[in-house]
Structure 1
Amino acid sequence: MTAAEAHPDGPRSIEQRRREALERLARDIDVWVATADADGEPTLVPLTFWWDGETVWLATRDTNPTGRNLRASGRVRLCFGHTRDVVLIHGTARTLTHDELPAGVGDAFTAKDGWDPRGSGPSYVWFQVTPEVIQAWGTVPEMTDRDLMRDGKWLVQGD
């Protein structure tokens, strides 16, 4: 895909990128999840997610590398989209068991994604990712203003 194909009208405004990033969070089903262990060994896996309007919800086994890394450090990067239209979230994750899950989260996750981790056994836990930084860009001309959120605060207001 060329830059012109990705964004035929040229670089998008930061307001448009915020709007489109939020649309992607509401629409997409899967996200690339990047974590690292204490030795810095990286792990990158796709996981199903649900965006509640403020945080990203993930579910995976607490025994796999991603689950162990999220529990140990709470640090995560999430990548949505493709290289010519990417939304990148740097965030912190907190771990919740099925019993600790707030009312409505499991049902909303299942309704969006068609899979209910609550029926997959006790090794599945939930991770609530709170964004600290959200970036969105498509091509080099958009990289200058790619930060939409910094320190958990939106830099540009929405509609």
Structure 2
Amino acid sequence: MKITVPPRGPEERRRDVLARLERESDIWVASADADGLPCLVPLWFVWDGRAVWLSTRPTNPTGRNLADGRRTRLAFADTRDVVLIDGEATAFTAEVVPAVAVEALRTKYGWDPREDRAPYSFFRVRPLAVQAWHEQHELSGRHLMRDGTWLA
């Protein structure tokens, strides 16, 4: 494949990342346990403008890892339009999760995890670093956020 388009600037990349956070249905969630055993799963998510909200069972490896380790890397599935988000997760039980987060899940997917028979935990992932690039020619400008602050 030959690259024929110029690289995007940082402002365009940020707009593209924010648009994907609004429109995508699934996001890959990477975590690790205390021994470093990795876990990678796709989950439904919602973006509230400042954080990504996820829900999974607290007994699943991802639920345990996010509750215990609090760090995660999120990614979209498209390898030609890479978005990586490194973030810090805060766990919420079904009893204390903000209603707005649950309503956003219900609106987007028609699903309220609190209504399932099995218990679910909720996780707010605050982005600390964001990278985005299309192909090799955009690698040099891929860092869009560091330490929770947008660079563009």
What TM-score bracket applies, with the shorter chain setting the length? over 0.9
Mapped pair 1:144 → 2:140: yes
Name the SS of the counterpart of 2:108 in structure 1.
helix
Question: TM-score w.r.t. structure 2 length?
Answer: 0.95
Contact kept in structure 1, 2:28 and 2:42, CA below 8 Å: yes
Tell me what 1:105 maps to: 101
User: How far, CA to CA, are the matches of 1:29 and 1:81 in structure 2?
Assistant: 11
Query: What is the CA–CA distance in structure 2 between the aligned matches of 1:72 and 1:40, rounded to whole Å?
Result: 12
Matches within 5 A, 1:30-109: 30-109=26-105
Q: Which amino acid aligns with 1:84?
A: R
SS in 2 for 1:71: helix
**CA separation of 1:141/1:111 partners in 2, compared to 1, >3 Å: closer, same or farther?**
same
Do the aligned residues in 2 keep the contact of 1:96 with 1:126 (CA within 8 Å)?
A: yes
2:46 is equivalent to residue 15 of structure 1: no
For residues 83-128 of structure 1, the C-alpha deviation after alignment (integer angstroms, 9 at most, x for no partner) is 1101110000000011111132111111112222111245201000
Q: Which whole-Å CA distance do the structure 2 matches of 1:103 and 1:3 have between them?
A: 48
- Calculate the TM-score normalised by the size of structure 1: 0.91
1:3: Cα distance to partner?
Answer: 5.6
**Unaligned stretches of 5+ residues in structure 1:** none
* Residue 127 (structure 2) aligns with: 131
Q: Distance in 1 between matches of 2:26 and 2:11?
A: 24
Q: Which runs of 4+ in 1 moved over 3 A?
A: none
Deviating more after overlay: 113-122 vs 75-84:
113-122
**What letter is aligned with 1:126?**
F
Structure 2's unaligned 5+ residue stretches are none
Identify the range of structure 1 (119-128 vs 134-143) with the bigger mean alpha-carbon deviation. Answer: 119-128
Identical residues among aligned pairs (%)? 53
